Structure 1
Amino acid sequence: MNRAPVFWRRAWRNVAVPSLTALYVAVVDLVHDGGPYVICIFASMVLMWGMVFERYWFFKRVLPKMANDAHAIWKARTDHSSWCARQIRSAMISRLNVAMTTGFPLLQVLVPMSPLLGLIGTVSGMLEVFDSMALRGSADAKTMASGVSHAMICTMSGLAVSISGLYPVHYFRHQARLETELLADRFTY
């Protein structure tokens, strides 16, 4: 009798569901405490990481097929050394480079945009502090703490999203440059 399905059902029910529930509650609390700017930061994070996973899939699965197809077309040509052949080679490499760098400008905007959204949330939180001080005439510690907390959550969220996106942007830029050089070496005259 196979007991593996029973084990996995229990593990899912006893470990995974409570962990996912705790994660969901933490995200909801973060959004509630951080305000609408955290929602914008979260949306930019989802978009950024969606693009990162798409680019990863492209470099691992799609690009090798595209490069092999282009190389087969190049090898099928009889003329490799004329001016026209060199222009065709250059165009083929350029098309592959364009395919590799698709989406880079948006990724390069999303990474620095997240801390800026966090900064807007910080300013909003500090304005809450100043409004509470102006309305009450004195510094109410509870209201000030709420505004400062709002400000720090936005700042932390923006920085966390930005820092997590720095490496993939530089990695994919390096990969595109490296793959373009390898393609240029592979398409011999």
Structure 2
Amino acid sequence: MMLQLLGLWESVQDFIHTGGNVLYVVAVVLLVMWVMMIERYWYVTAIFPKTKRDIIAKWDAREDTTSWYAHKIRDCWISEATDKLDQRMLLIKTLVAMCPLVGLLGTVTGMIAVFDIMATQGTGNPRTMAAGISMATIPTMAGMVAALSGVFFSSRLEVKVKREKADLVDSLPHH
């Protein structure tokens, strides 16, 4: 078991060495994005149902649900709950969009390395140029893979948030 973990760790180190230091930035962006998506999913599935029940109970406990004031209170409760549901969703979308851009930063730094090698050693050594080209392509691939994983799950999370908002509005009838 330990030998397999060491082999996996060496593979990751080789991948990062081949792709360059920009892969650390891709990994950090990916980690932050996933932590936020997991937190939002946890909030929507574990915390928000209790908040929704509390709001519905407060609404049902009101004697006046038809006046203008009652509708404004209802709108306020819905707005507060919606704000809590929407927290960090824009940041998650931004991080998803950043992943390929950080990968492109790796492309730029890799191409700079290739041009640096060409300027100092000429084009006679293809092996050293190939290392720079891998530094240019691997971060782009890693950024795209990170973005694809984020796009799928963040869009599912967004649908879940929209559904919860609609359910809350439907649960608070206004007469």
Structure 1 residue aligned with 2:147? 162
Alignment of 1:113-132 (within 5 A): 113-132=98-117
Structure 1 residue aligned with 2:77? 92
Deviates further, 135-144 or 103-112 = 135-144
Structure 2 vs 1, CA of residues 64 and 113 (structure 1 numbering), >3 Å: closer, same or farther?
same
* TM-score normalised according to structure 1 size: 0.87
Alignment of 1:48-67 (within 5 A): 48-67=33-52
Structure 1 residue 140 corresponds to structure 2 residue 125: yes
Query: Alignment partner for residue 179 of structure 1, among 150, 164, 168?
Result: 164
Alpha-carbon deviations, 1:103-150, whole Å to 9, x = none?
A: 011111101111111111111111111111111233411111100111
Q: 1:24 and 1:152 mapped to 2: Cα distance? A: 21
Q: Could you tell me which amino acid in structure 2 is paired with residue 187 of structure 1?
A: L
Alpha-carbon deviations, 1:20-60, whole Å to 9, x = none?
A: 33332222222222222111100001000101111111111
Q: 2:55 and 2:104 mapped to 1: Cα distance? A: 46
Counterpart contact for 1:132–1:139, Cα < 8 Å: no
Q: 1:21 and 1:66 mapped to 2: Cα distance? A: 45
Q: 2:12 and 2:34 mapped to 1: Cα distance? A: 17
Q: Identify the structure with bigger relative contact order (alpha carbons < 8 Å, sequence gap 6+).
A: 2
Structure 2 residue aligned with 1:21? 6
Structure 2 vs 1, CA of residues 78 and 142 (structure 1 numbering), >3 Å: closer, same or farther?
same
Q: 2:53 and 2:7 mapped to 1: Cα distance? A: 46
Structure 2 residue aligned with 1:35? 20
Deviates further, 145-154 or 170-179 = 170-179
Structure 2 residue aligned with 1:74? 59
**Unaligned runs of at least 5 residues, structure 1:** 1-13
Report the 3-state secondary structure (helix = DSSP H, G, I; strand = E; otherwise coil) of the residue aligned with 1:80: coil
Q: 2:58 and 2:85 mapped to 1: Cα distance? A: 19
Structure 2 residue aligned with 1:107? 92
Deviates further, 129-138 or 71-80 = 129-138
Two-structure CA RMSD over aligned residues (Å): 1.3
Question: 1:179 Cα shift?
Answer: 1.1
Q: Name the count of aligned residue pairs.
A: 174
* TM-score normalised according to structure 2 size: 0.94
Deviates further, 132-141 or 175-184 = 132-141
Question: 1:19 Cα shift?
Answer: 4.1
Structure 2 vs 1, CA of residues 51 and 138 (structure 1 numbering), >3 Å: closer, same or farther?
same
Identity of aligned residues (%): 36
Structure 2 vs 1, CA of residues 132 and 92 (structure 1 numbering), >3 Å: closer, same or farther?
same
